Every structure is written in structure tokens, then in C-alpha cells.
């Protein structure tokens, strides 16, 4: 179970300034959503604390060191 959870934790950096619920250059947690991916979207936990779909082009996926994951998860 732990290995599966690790695969699901993904992060992305916001590269747009056109959305009020997203901050440019901030790292957001990306939730798994196959249907969203097929539509070229990402499900992201935004500034409201809720998860919403955004165009994938608003973000760049990033690899985060394991040591930083916990801190990022607590911050979001």
C-alpha cells in the first residue's frame, strides 16, 4: 500500500498568472485523475484548498525530493 501511495503523490509548478485561485511559481499537489488527463487537464488542490481541474498547460510537473514531500503536503 505504501508504494502505491508514493506513485500517486505528484507536484506541479504553476506557470500562469491568469487564474485567481493559482499563484505563479507555487508548487501544487496534483491528484490522480485519468479522465482529466485524457482531456489534457490536471486535478490540482488550489488556493481554496479544494481540488479542481485546470488545463495541463498551466503547470509543469516536477519531481520533489522525498524529504520535501511531507512539508509540501502540510503546506497545501
Res 29: pLDDT: 94
B/e letters for 18-34, b = 16+ CB within 10 Å, e = fewer, are ebeebeeeebbbbeeee
**Residue 8 grid cell:** 500517486
Read off the pLDDT of each residue in 3-19 and give the average, rounded to a whole number: 79
Transcribe 23-59 into DSSP letters.
-TT-EEEEE--HHHHHTTEEEEE-TTSSEEEEEGGGE
Res 3: pLDDT: 45
Res 1: pLDDT: 40
pTM of the model: 0.81
4: pLDDT strictly greater than 80: no
Instruction: List all residues 6 or more positions away from 34 whose beta carbon is below 8 Å from its beta carbon.
Output: none
- In tens, the pLDDT along 28-75 reads 999 999 898 889 999 999 999 999 999 999 999 999 888 888 888 887
Domains of the chain, first to last: 2-75 (2.30.30.40)
Res 74: pLDDT: 80
Amino acid at each position: 500500500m505504501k508504494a502505491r501511495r508514493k506513485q500517486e503523490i505528484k507536484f506541479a509548478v504553476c506557470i500562469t498568472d491568469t487564474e485567481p485561485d493559482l499563484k505563479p511559481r507555487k508548487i501544487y499537489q496534483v491528484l490522480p485523475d485519468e479522465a482529466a488527463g485524457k482531456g489534457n487537464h490536471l486535478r490540482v488542490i488550489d488556493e481554496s484548498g479544494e481540488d479542481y481541474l485546470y488545463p495541463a498547460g498551466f503547470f509543469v510537473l516536477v519531481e520533489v525530493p522525498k524529504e520535501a514531500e511531507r512539508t509540501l503536503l502540510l503546506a497545501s
